[in-house]
Each structure stands twice: as structure tokens, then as C-alpha cells.
């Protein structure tokens, strides 16, 4: 069998695993991921995906085995690093989880993903206090500030500063063999440094509030989506399908918008924006209970994945329902 044919089999098995996981069919998902791993044993994604499916249903011990397999194949697999840290935290192994978040922060910083690096370092400090952790988090905060961050960065900064200030106020008991710490004299009230300004409030757009060319209709966007799907590129395909859903919504064809989103689920089953788009469409269709369930699911996934941007978008979607 040609390499191209094998790759198509691999993609199909992985897609089936994602869809089954989204539908809550764990056995089917794990079987599909195992098939994908057997087709492409050098790839970490099937193992990472299996771990994430298990972690979502609160089986962290089993998830850890899959994340370990993924990291043996790709030591910088971001999703596997994150999943391992979350699984260790869920098992109550706080020092190990903190170390895992430190590793994740280092990997993200090296990739210049500063907002995500700050978020990971903050979570490590929440799990286990340490002078080195505080120093690293402060350094990452300074780098992120200097980068003039957008929405996710501002949220990550706000959360990190709150944690940093909270840990600074908490008493720390040094180990018996810890070196003595010189205590600086207290600062008089008149010399207190100014408090950092709170981050600017973030305004989130609705998931289907997309910058569409008014001269381009749904039919043309459907062709673009088909081309992206045929090319097998996940991100462009997902973006084109969301554009198509937005165009159908704009034209009043909610069924067409829903179909576009359902097709997108096979491409990006874990995408926050896609699920928020479905919640919008359910609400517009009058399916309020279904919209609420969808938002609850996305909120749970956002909390699990620890993405500051995702958490903020879900909160904004909920508040926008009036």
C-alpha cells in the first residue's frame, strides 16, 4: 500500500476516534485511536487523543499511560504535556503535576507562545509554591507584557498576577536545609510602589461574527470549504466551514449553518469556537435547553484544557444570552 493511502487510512481512523470521543463512545474512540497508532506508530497524536478521551471521563490513571506513550514519541507534544500535568493533578500528585506544568511552560515559551506559557507557569505555582517558580512566572509575565498581548494574553496576565500576589502574601515554611533568607525592611506607606493597572476588559466577538466579504455567497464559500477539506488541512478547513456557517446564518438558512458546523465536527471536534457557534445556532433555532447543554459542555472542556481564551469566550457567550 502506498504511503499516501496509509496516511488516508490514518486520518480516517483518527477522525473516527475524535467523533466517537465527542459522542461519548469511549470504547469506539479508543479502538479507532489504537487503529490509527498501528497505522502510524511513529505519531504521538493517537496516544494523546486516547489520553484526553479518558481524562474527560475522569480516568486519569489510565490517561497517564497514553500520555507517557505519546511523550516517548514526541517529547514536545503540547497536548500530551498538558494532559499529563492535568492527570497528575487529578490524581492528587501535586508536586509532580507542578513539575509537569513547569515543563509545559518551558516548552511553550521556547515556541514563543507566551500567553500559554504564563498560563502553564501560573498553574504550576498554584499547585506547589516555590521561589524558582515565582521567579520564572515573573520573568514570563515581563516577556508577555513587552509583547503587547491581545485578548488571551491579557487574560493570562490577569490570572497570573492574582495568583502571584496571593502566593506572595501566603507564609512559606522553609525546609530544614534551606538557606537563610534575608528579609528586606518594610516599605513605608508613602514609598509603596503603585499597584499594577488592571488589564483592559476583553470584548469577545460571537463565534459566527466573522469578517465575510458581502459579495461572496454561500455557494462560493461551500466550494472553498470543499477544497480545504480535500487538501486535508485541519485549520483552513475548519475556518472555511465556520465561514460557510456564518454565511448561511446571515442569509437566514439556519439548517445550512447547522449542517456546516456538523461537518466541521469531523475536522475539529475539540474546537471551542465551533461549539460556541453551535450554541448560537441552537439558541437562534429556539432550542434553549440544547444551547445550555452545549455551553455547559464547552465550559467543562475549557476548564479541563486550562485555556484562558476559551474560558473567557464561554463566559462571554453565557452572559450574552441575557
Question: Shortest CA distance to 272 belongs to which of 292, 295, 255?
Answer: 295
- Which of 80, 110, 137 delimits the end of a domain? 80
d(CA 32, CA 41): 14
Query: 267 and 245: one domain?
Result: yes
- 213 occurs within a structural domain: no
Q: What is residue 145's three-state secondary structure?
A: helix
Listed residues 80, 110, 135: the one ending a domain: 80
Query: To 5 degrees, how large is the angle CA 153–CA 158–CA 163?
Result: 125
312 and 244 together in one domain: yes
One domain for residues 97 and 157: yes
CA–CA dist 24, 215 (Å, integer): 40
Q: Within 10 A of 237 (CB to CB), how many other CB atoms are there?
A: 23
Residue 245 phi/psi, 5° resolution? -60, -40
- Is residue 163 located within the same domain as residue 71? no
Of 290, 238, 294, nearest in space to 267 by CA:
238
Asked if the structure places residue 197 within a domain, the reply is no
Q: CA 307 to CA 302: how far, in whole Å?
A: 6
Q: Domain check: are 314 and 241 in the same one? A: yes
Asked if the structure places residue 310 within a domain, the reply is yes
Half-sphere exposure for 79 (CA within 13 Å, toward CB): 17
Cα–Cα separations (whole angstroms), residue 41 to 46, 69, 99, 193: 9, 11, 28, 56
Asked whether residue 110 falls in the same domain as residue 44, the answer is: no
Residues 152, 240 within the same domain = no
* Same domain? 71 vs 100: no
Coil, strand, or helix at residue 74?
coil
Q: Determine the Cα–Cα distance for residues 107 and 116; give it in Å rounded to an integer.
A: 10
Q: Which residues contact 215 (CB under 8 A, 6 or more apart)?
A: none
- Domain with 264 in it: 218-319
- Please report whether residue 181 resides in a domain: no
Report how many domains make up the chain: 3
Q: Is residue 260 part of a domain?
A: yes
pTM of the model: 0.56
Phi–psi pair at 177, nearest 5 degrees: -100, 15
Is there a domain that residue 58 lies in?
Answer: yes
Residue 255 lies in a domain: yes
Let me know: does 100 contact 63? Beta carbons within 8 Å: no
Q: What DSSP letter does each residue of 101-132 carry, written as one string? A: HHHHHHHHHHTT-HHHHHHHHHHHHHHS--HH
Tell the burial category of 199 from Cβ atoms under 10 Å away from its Cβ (0-12, 13-18, 19+).
middle
What is the chain's pLDDT, residue by residue, as a tens digit (322 residues)?
A: 667 788 889 988 888 888 787 677 889 999 999 999 999 999 999 999 999 889 888 899 999 999 999 999 999 888 899 999 999 999 999 999 999 999 999 999 998 888 889 989 999 999 998 889 999 999 999 998 888 777 667 777 888 888 877 655 444 444 333 333 333 333 334 444 444 444 334 446 788 888 888 888 888 888 888 888 777 777 888 888 999 999 998 888 888 898 888 888 877 777 888 888 888 898 888 888 778 877 777 777 666 555 566 677 777 777 665 4
CA-CA distances (angstroms) from residue 40 to 9, 33, 50, 102, 230? 9, 10, 15, 30, 21
* Same domain assignment for residues 156 and 100: yes
3 state SS of 161: helix
Inter-residue contact 155 to 203 (CB < 8 Å) = no
Sheet strands (E) in the chain: none
- Specify if 177 maps to a domain: no
Contacts of 185 by beta carbon, 8 Å cutoff, 6+ apart: none
Report the CATH number at residue 38: 1.25.40.10
Asked whether residue 69 falls in the same domain as residue 122, the answer is: no
User: Do 234 and 299 reside in the same domain of the chain?
Assistant: yes
What distance in Å separates the CA atoms of residue 60 and residue 74, rounded to the nearest whole number?
Answer: 20
Model confidence pLDDT, tens digit, residues 87-137: 999 999 999 999 999 999 999 999 888 888 998 999 999 999 888 999 999
- pLDDT tens for each residue of 10-19: 988 888 888 7
Q: Which of 169, 191, 226 finishes a domain?
A: 169
* Same domain, yes or no: 30 and 113: no
Amino acid at each position: 500500500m502506498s504511503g499516501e493511502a496509509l496516511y488516508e487510512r490514518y486520518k480516517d481512523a483518527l477522525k473516527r476516534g475524535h467523533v466517537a470521543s465527542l459522542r461519548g463512545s469511549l470504547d469506539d474512540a479508543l479502538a479507532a485511536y489504537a487503529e490509527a497508532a498501528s497505522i502510524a506508530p511513529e505519531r504521538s497524536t493517537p496516544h494523546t487523543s486516547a489520553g484526553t478521551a479518558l481524562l474527560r471521563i475522569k480516568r486519569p490513571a489510565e490517561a497517564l499511560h497514553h500520555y507517557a506513550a505519546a511523550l516517548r514519541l514526541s517529547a514536545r507534544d503540547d497536548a500530551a504535556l498538558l494532559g499529563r500535568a492535568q492527570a497528575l493533578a487529578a490524581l492528587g500528585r501535586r508536586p509532580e503535576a507542578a513539575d509537569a506544568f513547569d515543563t509545559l511552560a518551558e516548552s511553550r515559551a521556547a515556541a514563543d507562545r507566551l500567553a500559554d506559557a504564563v498560563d502553564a507557569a501560573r498553574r504550576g505555582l498554584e499547585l506547589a509554591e516555590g521561589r524558582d517558580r515565582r521567579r520564572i512566572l515573573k520573568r514570563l509575565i515581563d516577556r508577555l507584557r513587552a509583547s503587547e498581548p491581545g485578548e488571551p494574553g491579557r487574560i493570562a496576565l490577569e490570572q497570573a498576577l492574582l495568583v502571584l500576589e496571593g502566593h506572595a502574601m501566603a507564609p512559606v515554611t522553609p525546609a530544614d536545609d534551606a538557606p537563610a533568607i534575608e528579609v528586606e525592611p518594610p516599605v513605608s506607606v508613602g514609598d509603596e510602589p503603585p499597584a499594577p493597572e488592571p488589564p483592559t476588559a476583553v470584548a469577545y466577538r460571537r463565534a459566527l461574527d466573522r469578517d465575510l466579504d458581502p459579495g461572496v455567497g454561500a455557494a462560493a464559500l461551500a466550494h472553498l470549504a470543499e477544497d480545504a477539506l480535500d487538501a486535508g488541512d485541519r485549520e483552513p478547513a475548519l475556518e472555511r466551514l465556520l465561514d460557510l456557517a456564518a454565511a448561511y446564518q446571515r442569509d437566514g438558512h439556519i439548517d445550512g449553518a447547522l449542517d456546516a458546523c456538523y461537518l466541521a465536527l469531523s475536522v475539529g471536534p475539540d474546537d471551542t469556537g465551533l461549539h460556541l457557534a453551535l450554541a448560537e445556532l441552537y439558541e437562534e433555532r429556539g432550542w434553549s435547553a440544547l444551547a445550555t447543554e452545549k455551553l455547559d459542555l464547552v465550559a467543562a472542556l475549557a476548564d479541563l484544557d486550562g485555556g484562558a481564551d476559551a474560558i473567557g469566550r464561554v463566559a462571554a457567550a453565557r452572559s450574552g444570552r441575557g
